Chains A and B, each alone.
Chain A
Amino acid sequence: MDGMKILLVDDEQAIVTALTPVLQSQGYRIVTADSAAAALQAAEQAQFDLILLDLGLPDADGIDIIGKLKQLTEAVIIILSARHQETEKVRALDEGADDYVNKPFGIEELLARLRAAVRRLRTPAGVLQEKFVSEELVVDFALREVRLMGEEMKLSPKEFALLEVLCRHAGQVVTHRKLLIAGWNDPHADGQYLRSYVALLRQKLEYDVAEPQLILTEPGVGYRLVALPIQP
């Protein structure tokens, strides 16, 4: 991973001890912080590519330091959160966090999130990619063309707008809010429309609409496209 630098913010020593060697073995460089104050101090002193942030810190709520971290660094922030905390997750994502992993998590899940984040980091800022290419799905943003297993799919403009946001954040969660802005230019638009258009997209792209494999539901938070882009 070319020495991507991770700030791991968690006060649970057991988790830090377990994660550090695994992440190092994957080529990441790790700096740890066990409190919100330590995390902010570390972010001031050095630049990080990624921040893994636990929400339950001893000296502050993790959500409250997201804004400050965002001011200090360009790093992608991934939240470590517990199940049943959708409200917190949504708040953290609205504050500027990029993704989350539910605790307890398998290491594959965490690594997948990190890889998705790294892919976005590799995309030069301000330069929009023209194409999304994965094994099964090819989306040409300029030509507004969608091919599924080589077969061209006809999408309505709104369906395409939603798919584009999902592809540009492939592997990462995209909140209802972001999708509503992308499709309707209004974060307060009716969630019912979004559900309906996602259902239409799934009808066109999924093998089995009832058990989607491509556009996954993140209950209460948003959607996640799991097609992995092939590196150009």
Chain B
Amino acid sequence: MANILKGRLSYHDARDVLAATVDIVIFAVATAGTYYAQIWDRPRSAVLVYIVGVTIIGARSGLARGLSAAITASVVYNFFLSEPIFRFSASSADEFIPLIAFNVCAILSGALAGRLKDSVKLARAAEARNAHLLRLSDELQRAIRISDVLRIARASLPFQRVLDLDIYLMRDGTLFPADDDSASVDPAALLAGEPPVSIAGAEARICALNGSAGRIGFVRFVLGEGPAPGSDMPDLQGIANILGLAADRCLLLERLSESHALQKSEELKTAILSSVSHDLRTPLTAIEAAATSLRSFDDSLSAKDRASMLATISAQCRKLNRYTANLLDMGRIQAGIPTFMFIEVDVGEILGVVLASVRESYPGQELEKQITVDSAIVRANPAMLEQVIFNLVENAILHGASSRPIFLVLTRVGETCLLEIVDFGPGITAEEQPLVFNKFYRSRATAHRDGNGLGLHIANGFTEAFGGRISIVSPHFEGRGTKIVVELPLVQAAHGHVGAWE
């Protein structure tokens, strides 16, 4: 009321004043009704009118207002409206029963109205809590890491009295903060923990985080002071349960991806071991057989047989050498190839080097080349580029048709150098094409032939390191044959016209 006098009326004050005014009007109308009923000599109706008025006020405005209306009505009725007028008397039942009726009705209606109001208020608070929990659980659906859970939960704050929260997870029997794996926390200290001192009057509450297989950790809520102690206390365990479900899911996802990676590396290890045992043993067996034969039967062997055995030893040694080089190269690709190893290299020059060693390794193989550029300068490591081209040509020889030549085409298109290696073998099926660059992949059709499933993987890895790419066109000619295309970015000729000779 002081506010009204000062001319400053808040919304709540205005509502209270309006409600009080309505109550006074109702009381006045009821008083007037009772008065006229008395004048028209209807005393029972008069009492009933007053009872209705008091009941309405009690129902509208609660127990206190209803009771004060009832007492006022008792006084007014007894003193002014009932005989003897201007005198308070309760000598007969007709005189005091209305007084009791007024007050009983006021108390009953007021109490009922109050309970109704309280339950409405409770229902509204519960609805707000539920809406909050629902929104929180909705947002937590998107969390895939524990850090997401923490971030989303914190973003929903402050909610009612909750100002902040921390999540602690059990890992191998030790408790860690969810956002810091390094600092372990003593569970006993956490349970007896003090809230952060920075928040005045704050208190901490610890709730358990439960997952599908029992307790996975704790959540610590930091609570501020509510509007009234005990009121507006959110359902902390409800929030903790939702967080627990989300955290549990994230932990499962983490474990799943870890075990997936582990399985991958186990598969790779198995592949390496089986490759090593096969690709090392086969040539070693041949070398051992040839060498022991030469030692034991030297006298009885013809010169031709001896020469053939020596050639076997030499060829198998070359194979072993290539294989170990391939394994090393695979490791280099896995470790990442630093670009400081790259210099300007002429692809044509390297092609010449490769052709010389291919002719040495595969003397019978026909090679046709078509070179339409004077120079094709790229940034690469020369030995690695040599390996790329050698592997691709060797692959074409191993998988091509033995009676047909391998075609090698070196051209440029715009700022790209193109090297095509073409064979006329059975080709690579569309299903196999994405797989041939995988480590240790061997085509089922040619698995019995030479090759260790590393050549194309290395060629592709090195080419990508040079900023280029390898693509496959197969079949490319009358339903047969494979064309492997190496694309490498050409170095811009920053040297002016190199053809300006003396």
Contact = CB atoms under 8 A, between A and B. Distances in A.
| A in complex with B | yes
Interface of A: 83-84, 86-87, 104, 106, 156-158, 190-193, 195-196, 199-200, 210-212, 216-217, 219-220
A195 B501 contact: no
Given A104-B321, A219-B345, A196 B352 contact: no
Interface in B289-344: 314, 317, 321, 325, 328, 341, 343-344
B19 to A, nearest CB: 92
B165 to A, nearest CB: 56
Given A195-B377, A210-B371, 9 more contacts: A84-B325, A84-B383, A192-B493, A192-B495, A196-B498, A199-B375, A210-B369, A211-B352, A219-B382
A210 B408 CA distance: 11
B452 interface: no
A196 B325 CA distance: 31
A22 B325 CA distance: 27
Contact of B501 (A84, A104, A156, A220): A156
Given A83-B383, A157-B502, A220-B381, A210 B375 contact: no
A83 B344 CA distance: 19
B35 to A, nearest CB: 116
A196 B375 contact: yes
Nearest to B491: A192
A195 B377 CA distance: 10
B495 A195 contact: no
A83 B325 contact: yes
Nearest to B329: A84
Contacts of B374: 199
Contacts of A87: 341
A226 to B, nearest CB: 11
B349 interface: yes
Which 9 A-B residue pairings sit nearest by Cβ, starting from the closest? A219-B382, A220-B382, A217-B349, A192-B495, A196-B498, A211-B355, A84-B383, A156-B502, A217-B353
B350 interface: yes
Contacts of B345: 219-220
A216 B318 CA distance: 21
B356 A219 contact: no
Contacts of B381: 86, 220
Contacts of B501: 156, 200
Nearest to B325: A83
A86 B382 contact: yes
Nearest to A206: B352
B98 to A, nearest CB: 114
Given A104-B317, A156-B502, A86 B383 contact: yes
B203 interface: no
B488 to A, nearest CB: 15
Nearest to B369: A210
Contacts of B383: 83-84, 86, 219-220
B495 A190 contact: yes
A192 B497 CA distance: 11
Contact of A210 (B351, B382, B385): B351
A216 B502 contact: no
B344 A192 contact: yes
10 contacts: A192-B377, A192-B495, A195-B375, A196-B498, A210-B348, A210-B369, A211-B352, A211-B369, A216-B356, A220-B345
A191 B344 CA distance: 8
